[in-house]
Amino acid sequence: MKTSADVVVIGGGIMGASTAYHLAKRGATNVVVLESGEMFGLGSTGLNAGGIRYQFATAVNIELSKLSIGMMERFATEMDQQLGLRRCGYLFMLDRDEDLAQFRKNVAVQNKHGVPSEIVDAQQIGELAPEVNLDGIIGGSWCPRDGLVDPNGLLQGYVSNARRLGATLLTSTPATAIDVHGGRIQRVVTPAGSIETETVVIAAGPWSAAIGAMAGIDLPIQPIRRQIAVTDAIAGLRPDFPFVIDFSQSLYFHREGAGLLTGMSNNDEPPGFITTVDEDWKMHHLEHAMERLPLLGDAGIAAEWAGLYEVTPDDQPILGRLPGIDGLVCCAGFSGHGLMHGPAAGLLMAEEILDGRAHTIDIDALRWTRFETGASVGEYNVV
């Protein structure tokens, strides 16, 4: 194992792999990624729903989506890795006046940033998704450019291309300590030995608070269980079935293979690292899913799993240099929408490290200091 590196990245999910790739692409190849798992992608990156969307409330998230999805469009050519990018569109369905009022504002911000989203009424929702039971739905929003990618393809593209460019990516190698002296990073400790370094990137997803604690920094990132079920093949399911979200219930569906993937967030789920399926919540979820999408009544469950969202107090990631310790950078806390922002986040972290400051997008709204200054602006479009 290397005994020194210019940058040590802790965590081999989409954030760590994308950061390593973008550093190496800029010529900074003396980079080591430490992943505790036996394979890359055993954390949230391998357990998510694969959704990509421009439909956010904050300008910075819309810009992160624009940058990331543009990179995904070029991925197959530039990275020699298929992504299965599908533009099925995201259809948000709303049943509360206050949500509709807020979504009108969100769509105005999206349009200002060049996103072709629109507010739709219940009749238009019925035309876009005739399979859905529209009881109580008063309107929604639709963007035909939103869609899906293969999460594993995205991750493996970054892992293999970071390695091709000269970065070192290790599995089964957890960071167990970070030595800090005089306000500067000295080294990262692993069971296989220590790596001297001046720069550490925290990219450990739901486990990031523990990594911050190793350096004496309090990162408000909590692991929250979220679960998914995928059905058997459903006869007659159309190929262009959209990504449908019943917003007030945090309930969603999209086509997965010849069946449907569905998830529903339990907003009373306590923080914790348990990733077994909660059987009670599963029954609640499937009951509500069948009410909203009656064709599910005839479908069997082919697969189910639970993973962890990495949630911050304002549902926004913590990006960039952390205060008080030179060389400590955070790329974590994406609060359930990180797969789609991984490409952009890695590029921005490479800029933050090599150029002193991220500049392709202004990330000031996402810096840790927002919690001290009270300048945090929450994301509304969280599922």
Which residues of this chain interact with ligand FAD, rule CB under 6 A?
Answer: 10-16, 34-37, 42-45, 47-51, 174-175, 203-207, 211, 226, 228, 263, 307-310, 332, 334, 336-340
* Closest to ligand FAD by CB, 49 or 299: 49
Name the 3-class secondary structure at 264.
strand
The least distance separating ligand FAD from the CB of residue 220, rounded to whole angstroms, comes to 15
The least distance separating ligand FAD from the CB of residue 281, rounded to whole angstroms, comes to 12
* Closest to ligand FAD by CB, 37 or 126: 37
User: Buried b / exposed e across 138-159, counting CB within 10 Å, b at 16+?
Assistant: ebbbbbbbbbbbbbbbbbbbbb
* Closest to ligand FAD by CB, 24 or 188: 188
Q: What are phi and psi of 186, to 5 degrees?
A: -110, -50
* Closest to ligand FAD by CB, 100 or 342: 342
Question: Rg of the chain over CA atoms, in angstroms?
Answer: 21
* Closest to ligand FAD by CB, 159 or 325: 159
Asked if 289 contacts 264 with a C-beta cutoff of 8 angstroms, the reply is yes
* Closest to ligand FAD by CB, 127 or 268: 268
What lies within 8 Å, CB to CB, of 231 at 6+ separation is: 259, 260, 261, 262, 296, 299, 300, 301, 302
The least distance separating ligand FAD from the CB of residue 94, rounded to whole angstroms, comes to 19
The least distance separating ligand FAD from the CB of residue 43, rounded to whole angstroms, comes to 2
Tokens for 69, please give them.
């999805």
Closest by CA to 337, choosing from 143, 71, 58, is 58
The least distance separating ligand FAD from the CB of residue 243, rounded to whole angstroms, comes to 8
The least distance separating ligand FAD from the CB of residue 236, rounded to whole angstroms, comes to 25
**How many alpha carbons fall within 13 Å on the CB side of residue 25?**
20
